[in-house]
Amino acid sequence: MIDEIKTVARRHLAADGANLSLRAVARDMGMVSSALYRYFPSRDDLLTALIIDAYNTLGDAVEAADGGIEERDDLRRRWFAVGRAIRRWALAQPSEYALIFGSPVPGYQAPRETAFAAGRTPVVLLRIIAGAPEKALDTPGPVARDLAAVVATLDIDISPTQLARGSVAWIHLFGAVSFELFGQLNNVIEARDEYFDLQLDLMADLVGLS
Amino acid sequence: MIDEIKTVARRHLAADGANLSLRAVARDMGMVSSALYRYFPSRDDLLTALIIDAYNTLGDAVEAADGGIEERDDLRRRWFAVGRAIRRWALAQPSEYALIFGSPVPGYQAPRETAFAAGRTPVVLLRIIAGAPEKALDTPGPVARDLAAVVATLDIDISPTQLARGSVAWIHLFGAVSFELFGQLNNVIEARDEYFDLQLDLMADLVGLS
DNA sequence: TGTACATCAGTGAACGCGCGTTCACTGATGTAC
DNA sequence: TGTACATCAGTGAACGCGCGTTCACTGATGTAC
**Strand C nucleotides where any atom sits below 7 Å of a protein CB:** 8-14, 18-24
**Confidence band of B24 (pLDDT split at 50, 70, 90):** very high
Residue A121 has a pLDDT of: 97
CB B143 to CB A17 under 8 A? Answer: no
Residue B105 has a pLDDT of: 80
Neighbours of A154 (CB within 10 A): 15
CB A179 to CB B183 under 8 A? Answer: no
**B106 lies within 8 A of chain A by CB:** yes
Spatial distance between the Cα atoms of A188 and A4, rounded to a whole number of angstroms: 39
**SS3 state at A180:** helix
Average pLDDT, chain B: 94
Q: Could you tell me the distance in Å between the CA of residue A111 and the C1' of nucleotide C13?
A: 34
- Please state, in angstroms and as integers, the Cα–Cα distance from residue A128 to each residue in A166, A175, A176, B69, following that order: 9, 20, 19, 40
HEC sequence for A148-172: HHHHHHCCCCCCHHHHHHHHHHHHH
B87 closest CA partner among B200, B203, B209? B200
Q: Does pLDDT of B93 surpass 80?
A: yes
Spatial distance between the Cα atoms of B179 and B185, rounded to a whole number of angstroms: 7
CB A184 to CB B140 under 8 A? Answer: no
A28-42 confidence digits (pLDDT tens): 999 999 999 999 999
Q: Does pLDDT of B94 surpass 80?
A: yes
Spatial distance between the Cα atoms of A110 and A51, rounded to a whole number of angstroms: 9
Neighbours of B24 (CB within 10 A): 17
Contacts of residue B103 in chain A, CB cutoff 8 Å? 17-18, 98, 102-103, 182
Q: Does pLDDT of A189 surpass 90?
A: yes
B128-150 confidence digits (pLDDT tens): 999 999 999 999 999 999 999 99
- Please state, in angstroms and as integers, the Cα–Cα distance from residue A65 to each residue in A84, A101, B21, following that order: 9, 20, 43
Backbone angles phi, psi at B138, to 5 degrees: -85, 95
What's this model's pTM, rounded to 2 decimal places? 0.94
Neighbours of B202 (CB within 10 A): 19
Cα angle: A62, vertex A4, B184; to 5 degrees? 40
Choose from A13, A20, A103, A207 for mutation: most chain B CBs within 10 A: A103
Contacts of residue A106 in chain B, CB cutoff 8 Å? 16-19
Q: Does pLDDT of A107 surpass 80?
A: no
Q: Select the highest-mean-pLDDT range: A134-143, B28-37, B79-88.
A: B79-88
Section B43-53 average pLDDT: 95
Share of chain B above pLDDT 70, in %: 100
Q: Which of B164, B179, B190 lies at the smallest CB-CB distance from A146?
A: B190
Q: Which of A142, A143, A194 lies at the smallest CB-CB distance from B143?
A: A194
Residue B106 has a pLDDT of: 74
Sequence length of chain B is 210
**B101 lies within 8 A of chain A by CB:** yes
**B90 lies within 8 A of chain A by CB:** no
A59-99 confidence digits (pLDDT tens): 999 999 999 999 999 999 999 999 999 999 999 999 999 99
Which nucleotide lies at the shortest CA–C1' distance from B37?
C21
Q: Could you tell me the distance in Å between the CA of residue A5 and the C1' of nucleotide C6?
A: 27
Spatial distance between the Cα atoms of A164 and A139, rounded to a whole number of angstroms: 8
Residue B145 has a pLDDT of: 96
Residue B110 has a pLDDT of: 82
Eight-class DSSP state of B103: S
A193-207 confidence digits (pLDDT tens): 999 999 999 999 999
Contact (CB, 8 A) for B121 and B174: no
Residue B162 has a pLDDT of: 94
Choose from B143, B154, B190, B200 for mutation: most chain A CBs within 10 A: B143
Across chain A, the runs of DSSP E, i.e. the strands, are none
Those residues with Cβ within 8 angstroms of residue A131's Cβ, 6 or more apart along the chain or in another chain: A73, A75
